Structure 1
Amino acid sequence: MSDLELNKKIVVEFYQTALDGEPEKAADTHLGAEYLQHNPGAQDGREAFVGFMRFVRGRFPDLRLHIKRVIAEGDLVVLHSHMDLEPGNPANPGQAVADIFRVENGKVVEHWDVIQAVPESPANPRGMF
């Protein structure tokens, strides 16, 4: 397995485990000693990551993550995902999310994201995914 494929695998496992309700396991297995956060609503570090994931899951207990694309270049992995916050609720079609993770020595050490609400009535027929 190439380094790029390994980094993709690490990031997908990390994120899915965290959003499936096991952020401690995700952090223990995949976070580096340092975890830098660029989301303005989240703090740096393991404990902050676990707390943030617990907050999100507490607010949206049925949340489902649908990863649509995984792109890797160098030490960066990008996930393009549909975060379905309330599955089955047409009034909340969720969010389109682009998460960027930096991997160093097999561990996730940095994160950026761009989040956009999925519109109920888009201006074009292609959708966001």
Structure 2
Amino acid sequence: MPPLPGSAISAAATEGLGTSSGAASAVPASQLAANKQTVLAFYDAGLNRKDFAAARQYLGDKYVQHNPNAADGVDGFGKFLEFLRKNQPESHSDIVRVFAEGDFVILHVRKVPHPGDLPIAIVDIFRLEKGKIVEHWDVSQQTPAKTVSGNSMF
């Protein structure tokens, strides 16, 4: 896919979209569905219930964390859940959309840190290997009370 004129997207960034190795590979629909279920179960156990033991079963032995505010590795995820239990014990995330392609699952999430707070819009990207989550990226944005466009972020 060629980059759009005037965009910052490079040809190197677009090569091999959809697979972690850069080589195109067909993933059966059953595997895509299984990957979605794994990520959804992980998200509920970890981010909603804040239950590290329950969430741990969905992580690979190696877990690469790209969020600059969270520690790397499986233990880093455990520390993140400790932070949530202490600072946002009533936080809840609703999955608005879920997509899967290749080894990746992408979530569009509506998170409410504390009851009554405006939600945060989050996009989480997970990479799986052999049915386990091994890598994570995310971006988040506080939702405004009113948008210029009049459209919801969800």
State how many pairs are aligned.
125
1:41-69: CA deviation from partner (whole Å, max 9, x where unpaired): 11211111011122023211111111000
Q: Which amino acid aligns with 1:101?
A: F
Q: CA deviation at 1:31?
A: 0.5
How far, CA to CA, are the matches of 1:128 and 1:44 in structure 2? 29
Structure 2 residue identity aligned to 1:110? E
CA-CA distance at 1:122 after TM superposition: 1.4
Structure 2 residue runs without a partner (length 5+):
1-28
Tell me which residue corresponds to 2:75: 47
- 1 CA distance for matches of 2:143 and 2:69? 20
Query: Helix, strand or coil: the match of 2:149?
Result: coil
Provide the secondary structure at the position in 1 that maps to 2:147.
coil
Distance 1:68 1:49 in 2: 23
1:10 aligned onto 2:38: yes
Give every structure 1 segment of 4 or more consecutive aligned residues whose post-TM-superposition deviation is greater than 6 Å: none
User: 40, 60, 76: which is aligned to 2:104?
Assistant: 76
User: Which residue, out of 104, 108, 132, partners 1:107?
Assistant: 132
Matches within 5 A, 1:50-69: 50-69=78-97
Counterpart secondary structure, 2:95: strand
**CA RMSD between the two structures:** 1.1
Deviation of 1:95 after TM superposition, in Å, equals 0.6
* TM-score (norm: length of structure 1): 0.92
Residue 34 (1) aligns with residue 59 (2): no
5+ residue gaps, structure 1, are none
Identity of aligned residues (%): 42
Q: Which residue of 2 aligns with 1:22?
A: 51
Q: 2:122 aligns with which of 94, 97, 121?
A: 97
Could you tell me which amino acid in structure 2 is paired with residue 37 of structure 1?
Q
Which one scores higher on RCO, CA 8 angstroms, separation ≥ 6?
Answer: 1
